[in-house]
Amino acid sequence: MVASPVTIPIKQLQLAPGSLATLSDVTWDAYEAILTELGAERRVPRITYSNGILELMSPLPRHERPHKLIGYIVTTLLDAAEQDWEDFGSTTFKRPDKQAGLEPDTCFYIQNAAQVRDCQRMDLSTYPPPDLAIESDVTSKTTLEAYQRIGIPELWIYEAGALTIYRLNQDEYVQSETSPLFPDYAIPSLIPQLIEEAFAVGSSQMLRNLRSRLTQGQL
């Protein structure tokens, strides 16, 4: 007699903060079913899917603050340049044709802001991918592969007090010392400095200081 496989609802999977669960040989339909089961309003776990590999990650509390600070910094720099932007946060982006889906810590439309202004439901067959995605702490190989498959041109990863810029080049990411979106700023050094300043004097004071420096041309 062959025992029937045990099926456990994904909602019953308990992930401790900071932990990562990886499932192999997951079909696209199963990935879609998991997203449906967990619901659109959930905040955790974060789910990444790439070519049959599904990862569920439960971030540590300290994970949330850096990417939020970086988001504030990004919008401050864009506002100073009077450049339009749209913040899509942790929206789920999916490309069935590329067998990839992910949820950034946060992301922005900048060059393509006008194209998504009226977007109420993300569909990458209709809208372009975000111009910039931001991740805090460890990002796995599966996550990087998913970003590549989705086609996000620029990815920032902040980890252990350092910022790494990845630029998409012929469907693969290469590390870069400069940001095409912010060519006038030394982003890899500026972002960590501002995050440390926020920890020292508070987020609102750091942003006020940043706006003042931008107005006075001190960056």
**Domains of the chain, start order:** 61-215 (3.90.1570)
Indicate if the pLDDT at residue 166 is higher than 80. Answer: yes
Indicate if the pLDDT at residue 129 is higher than 70. Answer: yes
CB 211 within 8 A of CB 197: no
Mean pLDDT for 93-102 is 96
Q: What is the reported pLDDT for 140?
A: 79
Indicate if the pLDDT at residue 183 is higher than 50. Answer: yes
Look at 14 and 175; give whichever has higher pLDDT: 175
Q: What is the reported pLDDT for 41?
A: 66
**Residue 161: both structure tokens together:** 């007090």
pLDDT band, very low/low/confident/very high, at 37 (cuts 50, 70, 90): confident
Indicate if the pLDDT at residue 3 is higher than 80. Answer: no
To the question of pTM greater than 0.85 for the whole model, the response is: yes
User: Mean pLDDT over all residues of the chain?
Assistant: 89
Indicate if the pLDDT at residue 52 is higher than 60. Answer: yes
Least confident of 12-26, 88-102, 117-131: 12-26
Q: What is the reported pLDDT for 164?
A: 96
Indicate if the pLDDT at residue 43 is higher than 80. Answer: no
Look at 154 and 45; give whichever has higher pLDDT: 154
